[in-house]
A and B are shown apart, each in its own frame.
Chain A
């Protein structure tokens, strides 16, 4: 019964979304305020209905109701409760439901906190948001219904894919979706602005909080996914240029460009058309990512035959929103008034360079991902575009963008003094260059990437710190005054500084790749295997039984010289329900590096084939990502940029004024 309520709520949500699309849009055209406000209520009702549907599905998974097809195929009685819940979105239907759930949350946020917005803009934005909901709700109901029943119900479910039975599944997809879907708001606002034919700094101010939320979550989501891959896939890689990863990287690159250009628009009223273009682009890539992932077109060109309705449906949605918005853009953008002039050498100019490099990197990822598909369709020739291609092309573009970052951060708005900036950054440039040279000498030959990334990382970190100090301190100022001035700086400045620091930290983490060590060996009891500066010795091999798996565990001791630095237990898990096994790497963090041990199934004589890694600085990759996201959060907390501050201030002012009258 609860399941049917969930299904019914989803149908009602579709109706609410339809109302949210049609009524406010029509109201905005005829100038009917009542009709415009319908959008607000419809968005809230839609959220409530989708929340009911989502709760119903979570309930079905938690209670292991195997009469529901989705539960029977992706759950199991023996699974721990956390995986029963995260299993809700560990499958196609459930993850689409999560997608629309988050979409509705964002719509409701606009409805609730959008009182400061111009009525018409809000109505139009909610209408576009509603249209996205309509498309995806229809997709779920028509092709991917998570509430489909199964009769007769089996006694036991088929279990969740063991690779997904990991805390990572509870964290990674929701964060990623918050990012992906968060850009829908930006898209809706861009479309609304184009429909109205007016866009200004106020628009940028409304959109900025949503942008920062989406971007920060997307950053966290990608970092979390990368860390998950790192410890589950058994060989310590953290980024594979896998098409599905690329699908999440493209919105991130476009979104990062957008975060920068919307700052220009907000502060200087410049780059309007470009900003709108990026807003459309960021969400278009989110949609494209959803299409590539959900249709399975990337797994195989035959995926359409596999379930043609799904692929074609999403392709239609994709075409409608991307083509529709770009058509609107082509028609309306020339009418937008340009404002905010700036010299080529200025912060605006630097941000244009940043935008060009990021969008080019984004386009390269797009080309690299789709080119093999297109080539095979056109000529029948199969080629592979893999990591070496992306490392070379995107690597060069993104490293250049990193190099430009401290310059842009230090340049003044409107008209900058490049020579002055170079002088200010001289210390950072010198230290960075020396670091790179020392690293080259240390590695004596190796690939150039590691020293380059290390030098750049040092340059970005020091350069950012210099800028923060220069903002608050001049020669002659006492420490007290400097400190006071530091606290006087806006939070959004610190947010940007932290994000740039995070970038530098991630670069340092990446550079650690060049300094690591790897050993492939069969471990015998008591015989140490050397990896980098450490010796790894196998102590014992044992078995353990988990809730729905058996695991073989190898206990190993890591020594540096004669001192024991760690005891770790890498394992292999066998899952009976799907006859699959997974690798649980043994990890020990030492400073910022990690010792990483992954094993194969132990042999009969008690020896264990293993891969041992020493990965210096590796944790910095994700810590840097977290710092970037935190920077976005700090920026969001800036009082001036909070949503609806203007109205509250006005209300407060009038309340104060009244007694005087």
Chain B
């Protein structure tokens, strides 16, 4: 089953508007729909598009239309294991959707991965093992939270770097600004003393 989907994956990934094609409500679909106004009609002119749409249509028709993300029949008997499965599926990306976890996705591929996770957890594998297996298969792309490594250290450190830069800029600006209250010169001190003395004597 999975292999069938995988064979199609490159095709689906290549289609620029894959998010909308399956025609189901999904996270971001509202925005997606707002953004890409021109519907499929002009796109149909290209051949690869027709193919993609036809294939997707056939795939959808071949399945009983899933309308919910996690289906009742997927849920595991053991609540503890199910909780683990839910946690894990919340961290994994639906590969054919736009920025959506497989836990929230209605796509058939997401369902397959959800079932695969539950099978493996049911066999006693740890969450880390299942995650590692999926990464070996689909790459880091499947992780919603990118791992910290050579390619992503800049991403992970960007908040700290930005904040550091901001603090440095603030300190620099402060140093450049004139002192809040410059000390009085000796002459001014004398004047002040004279004034206050005069005040005291008159008062």
Contacts and interface: CB of A to CB of B under 8 A. Distances in A.
Contacts of A232: 25, 30
B100 A384 contact: no
Interface string B141-166: 11111100001101100110011001
Between B31, B69, B73, B177, the greatest number of chain A beta carbons within 10 A of the residue's beta carbon is seen for B31
A296 B34 CA distance: 11
Interface stretch (B60-68, B116-124, B126-134, B183-191): B60-68
25 contacts: A158-B41, A164-B30, A225-B30, A233-B30, A241-B99, A242-B28, A242-B31, A294-B35, A299-B32, A300-B15, A303-B16, A342-B180, A356-B166, A363-B158, A364-B159, A375-B151, A386-B99, A386-B101, A387-B144, A389-B145, A389-B146, A520-B75, A600-B71, A610-B68, A611-B68
Interface string A283-313: 0000000000110100110110110000000
Nearest to B178: A341
Contacts of B41: 73, 158
A164 B33 contact: yes
A276 B184 CA distance: 34
B84 interface: no
B29 interface: yes
Contacts of A379: 151
A234 B25 CA distance: 8
B15 to A, nearest CB: 8
Contacts of B145: 386, 388-389, 392
A158 B39 CA distance: 9
Contact of B166 (A302, A359, A599): A359
Interface residues of A, number: 89
Interface in A72-112: 73-74, 90-95
Given A363-B158, A371-B155, A582 B33 contact: no
Contacts of A384: 93, 99, 140-144, 146
A95 B38 CA distance: 12
Interface in A538-589: 572, 578-583
Nearest to B17: A299
Given A163-B29, A359-B166, A582-B25, A95 B159 contact: no
Contacts of A526: none
B34 A73 contact: no
Nearest to A160: B33
Contacts of A579: 23
Interface of A: 73-74, 90-95, 158, 161, 163-164, 168-169, 173, 225, 228-229, 232-235, 237, 240-245, 273-274, 293-294, 296, 299-300, 302-303, 305-306, 338, 341-344, 352, 356-357, 359-361, 363-364, 367-368, 371, 375, 379, 381-389, 392-394, 396-397, 520-522, 572, 578-583, 598-601, 609-611
Interface string B16-46: 1111100111111111111111110100000
B166 to A, nearest CB: 4
Contact of B39 (A73, A173, A241, A611): A73
B37 A609 contact: no
Nearest to A381: B151
A229 B30 contact: yes
A383 B69 CA distance: 23
A243 B126 CA distance: 32
Instruction: Across the A-B interface, give the 3 residue pairs with the lowest CB-CB distance, nearest first.
Output: A386-B144, A91-B37, A92-B37
A469 B14 CA distance: 60
A161 B36 CA distance: 11
B28 A244 contact: yes
B198 interface: no
Contact of B23 (A338, A368, A578): A578
Given A244-B28, A583-B67, A389 B33 contact: no
A35 B107 CA distance: 60
Interface in B68-93: 68-73, 75, 91, 93
A580 B26 CA distance: 12
Contacts of A338: 177
A74 B37 contact: yes
B155 to A, nearest CB: 5
Nearest to A245: B31
B38 to A, nearest CB: 6
A90 B34 contact: yes
B170 A397 contact: no
A583 B158 CA distance: 38
B98 interface: yes
B98 A73 contact: no
B139 interface: yes
Nearest to B106: A234
Contacts of A296: 16-17, 35-36
